[in-house]
Amino acid sequence: MTKTFDELYDIASDYHTNKNYRMAQDYYKQALEIDPEHYDSLRWLADNYLEQEKYETAIKWFEQAKKVNDQDNNLFNDLGLCYYENCDYKKSIKNYKLGLKIKHNDETIHSNFGKALYERYMEDQQDAKKDAKWWLDNFPNSNDAKVIGSAILGKNISKQNTKYVKQIFNDFAEDFDEKLAELNYKAPEYIAEIWKKYNKKSVDVILDAGCGTGLLSPHITNCCKQLYGVDLSNEMLEMAKSCELYSHLFCEDLIQYLEQNKNKFNGIIASDVLCYFGDLSEVFKLSYDSLQSDSYIAFSVEKNNTDNQDFLLNPSGRYVHQQKYIKYILEKTGFKNIKITNKTLRTEHDNPVKGLITIAKK
C-alpha cells in the first residue's frame, strides 16, 4: 500500500531520532517527492546531514529550505555552522547576520558569529572589521560582541566579561581536551616543571585557579595533600570531577572565590586563565592575600611581543601581556623571587603561541 505524506514524514522523523540516518534520508526524500516545498522535511533532511558532518550536502538542503522559509533563526544558525565547518567564513557570517536580524538575543548565534568573525579576521582583516562594526553597532549589549567585536576593532578593554568567558567554556567543555591536544598544548606541563623546580616538598593545599577540565591536575597532584579547583564553567567542572584528583571543586568566579579565602593556600597554579584578564593587579593582589607565607604562585600568560602596551586584547578574545608588566605587577603586589621563562604554549593556525611561564613567592 502506498504511504501518505504524513506517514512518510513520521517514519523519517522516527529514524532520525534514533540516528538511523540512511533510512531517515530515504523517507524524507520520499516525502519530498509528494511535497517538494515541505519546510520541515527539507529542514530536517539538512540537519540529518549536518549531524553526520556532511556539510556540503547539508548546505544544499538548508539552502532549499531557506527558499521556503527565510524567517527561522535556527536554520540560519545551522547553515552558518555548515559554512563555518566548510571554512567559508564569509558566507557563515552572512547567515549568522540573517539569523540575528530575526532573533536579536540569540546567544548561540552571537557566540558562533564571534568564532566565524575571528577566522574571517585571519583571512581578511578589513572585511572582518566591517562585520565587527556592524555587530557592535546593532547589538551593543551582546557579551560576545563586546569582547570579540571590540578586539577585532582594536579596542583594548581592560577587563574581560565574565558571562562571555563562562559561555565559551561551557560550549567547549565536551571536546576541550581533544582540541587542545590537537594544538599541542603544553602549558600544564611547563607550570608543573617550574613548580617542582622551586618546591621540593609536598605542601598541604594547592588551588588550581580556573581548573577547567583538570588538565593540570595529573602533573601537580603529587605535590600536595589536597588539590582544590575553581572554575566558572559547570560543564568544565563535570569533566574535572571525572579525573578524581581534586579534593574539592567549586563553581565560582575566580575573583569572588579568592576574596572569600584569605590566607588559605600553600600554592596557587593557573594554566591558560590569566589570558582572560587584562589588568592583572586585582587577581595578583587577591592571590597574594589567599596564600600563606612562603607560598608560591605559578601561572602561564600569552606574551605580547609586538606592542608597547602592558596588555592587549587579541582578536581571539584573549589577552597577551608584556613580560616587564608581569614582573612589575608581581613586585608591586609584594611577591619575591620572581622567575619567568619563555615557552611556546601551543600552536594556533599552525603558528607558535609564545608565552611566559612564571613563578613567584609570597
Looking at the predicted structure, is the pLDDT value of residue 307 above 80?
Answer: no
- Range among 100-104, 139-143, 349-353 with highest mean pLDDT value: 100-104
CATH number corresponding to 175-361? 3.40.50.150
Which pLDDT value is given to residue 77?
98
Assess contact for 66 and 97: CB atoms under 8 A.
no
Which pLDDT value is given to residue 196?
95
pLDDT tens digits along 213-235: 999 999 999 999 999 999 999 99
Which pLDDT value is given to residue 168?
75
Which pLDDT value is given to residue 351?
87
Q: Reply yes or no on domain 5-171 having CATH 2.40.160.10.
A: no
Assess contact for 270 and 255: CB atoms under 8 A.
no
The residue among 69, 6, 71 whose CA lies nearest residue 42 is 69
| Beta strands 203-209 and 224-231, pairing class | parallel
Task: Tell me the average pLDDT across 297-319.
Answer: 90
3-state secondary structure labels for all residues of the chain: CCCCHHHHHHHHHHHHHCCCHHHHHHHHHHHHHHCCCCHHHHHHHHHHHHHCCCHHHHHHHHHHHHHHCCCCHHHHHHHHHHHHHCCCHHHHHHHHHHHHHHCCCCHHHHHHHHHHHHHHHHHCHHHHHHHHHHHHHHCCCCHHHHHHHHHHCCCCCCCCCHHHHHHHHHHHHHHHHHHHHHCCCCHHHHHHHHHHHHCCCCEEEEEEECCCCCCCHHHHHHHEEEEEEEECCHHHHHHHHCCCCCCEEEECCHHHHHHCCCCCEEEEEECCCHHHCCCCHHHHHHHHHHEEEEEEEEEEEEECCCCCCCEEECCCCCEEECHHHHHHHHHHHCCEEEEEEEEEEEEECCEEEEEEEEEEEC
Share of the chain above pLDDT 90, in %: 84
Looking at the predicted structure, is the pLDDT value of residue 173 above 70?
Answer: no
Q: How confident is the model at residue 85 (pLDDT cuts 50, 70, 90)?
A: very high
Which pLDDT value is given to residue 305?
82
pTM for this structure? 0.84
Q: Which of 141-155, 184-198, 305-319 has the lowest mean pLDDT?
A: 305-319
Q: Which of 45-54, 140-149, 171-180, 288-297 has the lowest mean pLDDT?
A: 171-180
Which pLDDT value is given to residue 347?
87
Share of the chain above pLDDT 70, in %: 98
Looking at the predicted structure, is the pLDDT value of residue 177 above 90?
Answer: no
Looking at the predicted structure, is the pLDDT value of residue 34 above 70?
Answer: yes
Q: What is the pLDDT of the chain when averaged over all its residues? A: 93
Task: Tell me the average pLDDT across 83-109.
Answer: 97
pLDDT tens digits along 259-280: 999 999 999 999 999 999 999 9
Domain ranges for the chain, please list them: 5-171, 175-361
Task: Tell me the average pLDDT across 6-35.
Answer: 96
Which pLDDT value is given to residue 172?
65
Q: How confident is the model at residue 81 (pLDDT cuts 50, 70, 90)?
A: very high
Q: How confident is the model at residue 176 (pLDDT cuts 50, 70, 90)?
A: low
Task: Tell me the average pLDDT across 135-149.
Answer: 94
